A and B are shown apart, each in its own frame.
Chain A
Amino acid sequence: MRPSSTPFASAPPTVRPFSSSGPVAGSESSNFRPTPPGAPSTLTPFSAVGPSPPSRFIDPSVPSPSVKSVPPSGVPYQRFPTPPFPSAAQTPPNRAPPVGQPPFQPPASHVSVPPPSFRPQTQVPPVPMGSLPQNANFPEPPSDPSLSGPRPNFQPPFPGYPSKQPAVSQAPSPFSAQQGSFMAPPAPPSPFPIQQVSYGPPPPVANNLGYQSRDQMQHPGSAPPIGGVQSLTEDFSSLSVASMPGSIEPGLDYRTLPRPLDGDEVPSSFLEMYPMNCDPRYLRLSTSAIPNSQSLVSRWHLPLGAVVCPLAEAPEGEEVPVINFASTGIIRCRRCRTYVNPYVTFTDAGRKWRCNICSLLNDVPGEYFANLDATGRRVDLDQRPELIKGSVEFVASTEYMVRPPMPPLYFFLIDVSISAVRSGMIGVVAQTIRSCLDELPGFPRTQIGFITYDSTIHFYNMKSSLTQPQMMVVSDLDDIFVPLPDDLLVNLSESRNVVETFLDSLPSMFQDNVNVESAFGSALKAAFLVMSQLGGKLLIFQNSLPSLGVGRLKLRGDDLRVYGTDKEHILRIPEDPFYKQMAADLTKYQIGVNVYAFSDKYTDIASLGTLAKYTGGQVYYYPSFQSDIHGEKLRHELARDLTRETAWEAVMRIRCGKGIRFSSYHGNFMLRSTDLLALPAVDCDKAYAMQLSLEETLLTTQTVYFQVALLYTASCGERRIRVHTAAAPVVTDLGEMYRQADTGAIVSLFCRLAIEKTLTSKLEDARNSLQLRIVKALREYRNLYAVQHRLGARLIYPESLKFLCLYGLALSKSVPLKGGYADAQLDERCAAGFTMMALPVKKLLKLLYPSLTRIDEYLLKPSAPADDFKNIMKRLPLVAESLDSRGLYIYDDGFRFVIWFGRMLSPDIAKNLLGPDFAAELSRVSLTEQDNEMSRRLMKILKKLRESDPSYYQLPYLVRQDGWYHWLCRLDNANTPTSPAKLMIYRSSLLNVVNSSAPADESSPGVKTTTGKKGFARLGLLSMVVASISCLDVGQRQKTLKTGSA
């Protein structure tokens, strides 16, 4: 979403040189070449920095002089009037001032004009200083609207830039310049001919009319594009629920709803404020403004916390640097054990350093000593990545080990009962493992072992001196013992031949097996006994319900009557305490479990998945696995599981500053102590969420630091500590918290909380509490502004949370939470729950709001260049209007593709893509590459899409328009059908809600409904909005259905 075309998109990196070079005049001057007219004051900040630079390094609490970078123009530089928005009735100050005066618009740049309180303590000089060069770099004519986009918070009070658009924070859309309706992803071209502007707050015509006209009257001749009043309304976005002009029916115009067509948007202002923070792919805070008091926390109804993905895949060139402190030992704070990071300050001529988390003065070890220069920086800063980068990796010494680093270890526990044989699972698994043997990480130390089981347990002796593996069968399930002390687990490089022979013969070995039993629990125990010496990764391939021995499970979940009662949640928790106990034991011995489940019948994923949940693993579920259909998916996902970089025997801890504390953790792991996450095996596809709470009633510090430390054994056998550090300002203002909110992190936290709630209460309750919290938050936000504005019948929300409602809706319609008994198989529900508990933010958002793209035009184009892939892949909003019956669409949620064939799609395309059987029932047709250009192109698109998201393999499902309604209902995320009557009820109560919650406002036009207190009290604002969103979508769909079938 960040416009890469603007001159500042690359701003943060360029900032650094200035910050580090301090007041050396030469380097800056070069950047000031095109000094804008009337900007002599630009130099003030530097001169201010000059005289007293070290002070900021010595004591962070001393306000940095950069604050004083006020141009000497005499105009009071009001950084942040605390009620940031002068009331609407007043004449807004300084609109379009005469040239020569700083046109500083105090409230406008909502993104983050930081309150003065936290600007100074940013011990990092780059921020204020860095902004200057950029500004000085503007060669553009003064009124270029694109300037305003990305960095509104650093708008300098320069004369000569009168038309800075305030508040256009993320999306300098083409319209922002004219209307100030600043939301919007650029509107996708066709489907909405009516309103291009409509993704944002409704254009002034509808609602802002009042303000605008009044405003115009008061300021005749003010510069057209912006106005103070505009900036007031721009602080939040709004959604009109009043009647739209021209429409008789009151209600919500679904086209005005913001839709996340650009996927996950990481708020950028945060990174700009603290350029030395780690990348948001590693750590995202639900709001980058930490509240300073309990009361603020209680008014922030959204989750307050962080989502951490410690091993996220970094793009080429941004890998985390590895640092070896060999003899010095890793520099850590004596008291709080914080690792040295960019935010520590060196004092006392470099002999001491102050911990940024507990502010203890530590000694700098002799080997680490470096002199400080005049500005208080270490002279060797450039050679110390740990002092300039938010993410680093330290090589840990022996004191960080309780035993020698373990080798990468893969152990396979394979079900060979009849159903597994029939589905062809064994063959695919054996093949895949064999093909991955070369790529298993950690050569030559990698260890490998196998156990197969049906009603008995088969061990395999793979000693390197053997030519063929020896099979040993244990049938005593009650008293499991390991028949051989070693050689069940062998070094792969030594026993390579034996392993290969075994894998080659495995499918044929059991092809005549007619055993239907599965002694899963006992086999698990056996595997545990074999592995407990070393730990490692245990991959379980389970094809039926465990039926023998310890941990046997029984059929449950087919009882319809349980749903909706207090006992409903019991279905979603493990039935037998054996599984939890086993999971705990496995974690204790550093064994991570990944469960692959294949059954077409009930397998009790709720119980099996527990093993993965508490050992930091994940659950792969392939319902009704058939090797010819799902084989490719299994092959890809198993291969990725085996070959991706894995961190072994890891523990993770997140530290934070005084006064706050991480109080709860959510995800797939086990807590080893109150704040230590035990992760036997962790990789880039796992994220963990945690919630913050304030320990003190009032935070006195002005910045809070977070530090994630993951101590792990790399596959190469090195013990390492990956450290991510981030800083966040402490604020006193609720509005600021909302402005700095990160929808992705919030949704991720909500998702985990809701799924956890389904384990202790009804699905209904989980959904309700989710909605309630969003409603409360929006209501609180409304209250913030209700006093100042006449909001009329509009729902207002902060720009940063514009997608929250939509994601909230999508979440409550996601597989783990949706509906009741009939809406999702119990196993599917549980599997999705386990998966979503571990998903990183980006993937979760994609799952919740999948992308929909139309591809027939591209396929038909005679010669499409290969590189305009981005252009083809334009996401469409997920509404029925997007689907044209002449089109071909791909719907991609990161886990599967749905390829939608319009009814009137030209038969050529279908024929070309599907081959001769294009007229058959699509669910039986599999998509294979045909020998023509079009098919190859489709395959190329699919391949590209898959490459963009390699963690899962997306199997294509083909759907024809007639059947689309069913898949919309069946597949996630679509809207469950709602009756028109219900829809009307929702709409009218939505109106009531908005009216009654708005301040008394007689003149709100177009809404005649009387206040419905009941509706307001009982049903939340959001649930209404959400409901109406879904209703509208469905309504439209139903319309198309009717017209389509007519």
Chain B
Amino acid sequence: MNVEDDEDRELEKLVNFSEWYKRFNDVRVVVKQYFSDSGGGGGKMAWDLIFWVLCFFINIALLASSFYQLLSLSDLEADHLNPFEAATRINSIVLPEFLLQGFFCLSFLLTWHWFMFISTLPITVYHVMLYLNRKHLLDVTEIFRDLNTEKKYRFVKLAVYLLLFTVVLFRLLSASIFFFFAWKFEELDIRTSLFY
């Protein structure tokens, strides 16, 4: 009885293991397919990772610029900064930010990341609109009148960038996990083949 029970248990374990193993097998197949499809072996995976790393840094830069502008504005409000300096500081980074953001958005379009593209699109459109209306730069002379709206606008932008940041971070992590795990699978693959 005992023995049978034990055997049963062993059997169960075996079955479990084989099921578990099967999954790996499937993954391996998928991974293999994935690489073989892209033609470059691990190339596509690497490019993906590189892309997300790039996005990550762009996003950080955008965040930083927004934050810096906000900081300058609140400094201005608290009278730590005079309007001339504040306007020069902010205006000097407005265009780079717009360009960077445009590039960010465009790169999603080119890499067919629809979701990311659509979520960055509104800001891009808004930027383009501002630029075409020539309202993208702070007006030194009326800076205090516009202060609140400008701050609000930058707060909203900061929030959106933060949101994007979480998404990008997630994608970056998944891409890197994918990448490194896939590497492991490759290794696993070799080792497991020794078993057979």
* Chain A residues engaging chain B, CB cutoff 8 angstroms: 577, 580-581, 583-585, 588, 610, 614, 664, 670-674
Contact = CB atoms under 8 A, between A and B. Distances in A.
Nearest to B87: A584
Interface string B118-150: 000000000000000010010111011101000
29 contacts: A577-B137, A580-B139, A580-B140, A581-B140, A583-B141, A584-B84, A584-B87, A584-B141, A585-B84, A588-B84, A610-B141, A614-B141, A664-B145, A670-B83, A670-B141, A671-B83, A671-B143, A671-B144, A671-B145, A672-B82, A672-B83, A673-B79, A673-B82, A673-B83, A673-B144, A674-B77, A674-B79, A674-B144, A674-B147
A580 B141 contact: yes
Contacts of B147: 674
A670 B140 CA distance: 9
Contacts of B79: 673-674
A674 B151 CA distance: 14
Q: Which 3 A-B pairs have the closest CB atoms?
A: A584-B140, A671-B144, A673-B79
A583 B83 CA distance: 13
A581 B147 CA distance: 17
Nearest to B139: A580
Contacts of A670: 83, 141
B84 to A, nearest CB: 5
Contacts of B143: 671
Contacts of B83: 584, 670-673
Contacts of A614: 141
Secondary structure at chain B's binding surface: helix, strand, loop or mixed?
helix
Among B87, B141, B143, max chain A CB count under 10 A is at: B141
Nearest to A666: B145
Contacts of B144: 671, 673-674
Contacts of B76: 673
A592 to B, nearest CB: 14
A610 B140 CA distance: 13
Contacts of A577: 134, 137
Contacts of A672: 82-83
A469 to B, nearest CB: 34
Nearest to A615: B141
A670 B141 CA distance: 6
A671 B144 CA distance: 7
Contacts of B77: 674
Contacts of A673: 76, 79, 82-83, 144
A406 B182 CA distance: 74
Nearest to B80: A673
Given A614-B141, A673-B76, A673-B144, 15 more contacts: A580-B140, A580-B141, A584-B83, A584-B84, A584-B87, A585-B84, A588-B84, A610-B141, A664-B145, A670-B141, A672-B82, A673-B82, A673-B83, A674-B77, A674-B147
A617 to B, nearest CB: 13
B91 to A, nearest CB: 10
Nearest to B144: A671
A610 B77 CA distance: 24
A653 B76 CA distance: 17
A735 B68 CA distance: 49
Interface in B68-93: 76-77, 79, 82-84, 87
Contacts of B134: 577
B134 to A, nearest CB: 7
Nearest to A613: B141
Interface string B140-177: 11011101000000000000000000000000000000
A670 B145 CA distance: 11
A580 B134 CA distance: 13
Contacts of B84: 584-585, 588
B60 to A, nearest CB: 31
A495 B145 CA distance: 44
B135 to A, nearest CB: 10
A91 B194 CA distance: 114
Contacts of A664: 145
Nearest to B140: A584
A749 to B, nearest CB: 16
B192 to A, nearest CB: 68
Contacts of A580: 139-141
Among B134, B140, B145, max chain A CB count under 10 A is at: B140
Among B87, B145, B147, max chain A CB count under 10 A is at: B145
B36 to A, nearest CB: 57
A583 B76 CA distance: 19
Contacts of B141: 580, 583-584, 610, 614, 670
Contacts of A585: 84
A553 to B, nearest CB: 15
A671 B82 CA distance: 10
A583 B77 CA distance: 21
A673 B147 CA distance: 11
Among B77, B82, B144, max chain A CB count under 10 A is at: B144
A528 to B, nearest CB: 14
A274 B140 CA distance: 40
Nearest to B145: A664
A671 B139 CA distance: 12
B177 to A, nearest CB: 49
Nearest to A665: B144
A1028 to B, nearest CB: 36
Nearest to A585: B84
Nearest to A574: B141
Nearest to B81: A673
Contacts of B87: 584
A672 B84 CA distance: 9
Nearest to A570: B133
A351 to B, nearest CB: 32
Contacts of A610: 141
A587 to B, nearest CB: 8
A217 B9 CA distance: 114
A584 B141 CA distance: 6
Contacts of A581: 140
A613 to B, nearest CB: 8
Contacts of B145: 664, 671
A102 to B, nearest CB: 54
A577 B134 CA distance: 9
A671 B79 CA distance: 11
A588 B79 CA distance: 16
Contacts of B82: 672-673
Contacts of A674: 77, 79, 144, 147
A670 B144 CA distance: 9
B83 to A, nearest CB: 7
Contacts of B139: 580
A855 to B, nearest CB: 46
A673 B139 CA distance: 14
A614 B139 CA distance: 12
A754 B144 CA distance: 19
A711 to B, nearest CB: 16
Contacts of A671: 83, 143-145
